[in-house]
A and B are shown apart, each in its own frame.
Chain A
């Protein structure tokens, strides 16, 4: 369980924030009928960040990674629609 050590006790508020963020987005436990909606939700988060990154001259690695994630989400969206 090597990853269990990464969070420290004083990160409680950070953990709560992360939990709330995912909970509000309905991404902790995706309901059967909500899969397409949740993919869109994740896609919007990536697109928002990608929009910011495209205005910057640095962060090239993150930009590439965001573009790759967006492509993956689009592929999933298209494949699951069939």
Chain B
């Protein structure tokens, strides 16, 4: 992935801070929003906007480099279990996971990505020996 001049220039000031405006890829092309908080999820960085939308870093235009993701093994059991409880509660409360850019969609997306990576990667990388 080759960096654009804008991406390279953004590097030193990344990630945007609270109150800054970001432009991101959206269903309708692109959209903007004001950053309220920047938070790590189970895999990637999420930008929580003032209007409640949640935008993953890789959808923000002109991010400075290939997004850096967490490794599945860096997520603690407590963090994972809290995340699992939260998304189940969201599902049970009737939130619609198809509402893109909303917190439930964002948390579910991160959870499915994390879970897939965690178990799929291990299968590819670690040949097991029975009983050792």
| Residue positions of A touching B, CB distance < 8 A | 1-4, 6-7, 12, 15-16, 18-19, 21-22, 25, 27-30, 32-33, 35, 38-39, 41-42, 45-46, 48-50, 52, 55-59, 62, 65-66, 68-69, 72-73, 75-76, 79-80
* B residues less than 8 Å from A72 (CB atoms): 84, 87-88
* A residues less than 8 Å from B105 (CB atoms): 30
Beta-carbon contact of A66 and B119 below 8 Å:
yes
Beta-carbon contact of B69 and A21 below 8 Å:
no
Beta-carbon contact of A45 and B120 below 8 Å:
yes
Number of interface residues of B (CB under 8 A): 43
- If over half of B's interface residues share one DSSP class (helix, strand or loop), that class is named, otherwise mixed; here it is helix
| Distance from A82 Cβ to chain B, minimum over Cβ atoms (Å) | 9
CA of A57 to CA of B131, assembled, Å: 5
Beta-carbon contact of B109 and A30 below 8 Å:
yes
Question: Is B13's beta carbon under 8 Å from chain A?
Answer: no
Beta-carbon contact of A4 and B91 below 8 Å:
no
Partner of B68, one of A4, A16, A21, A22: A4
CA of A16 to CA of B81, assembled, Å: 28
Question: Is B23's beta carbon under 8 Å from chain A?
Answer: no
Closest 10 CB pairs of A and B: A32-B98, A49-B119, A79-B91, A45-B120, A27-B113, A42-B112, A45-B119, A72-B84, A42-B115, A57-B131
Partner of A68, one of B84, B100, B123: B84
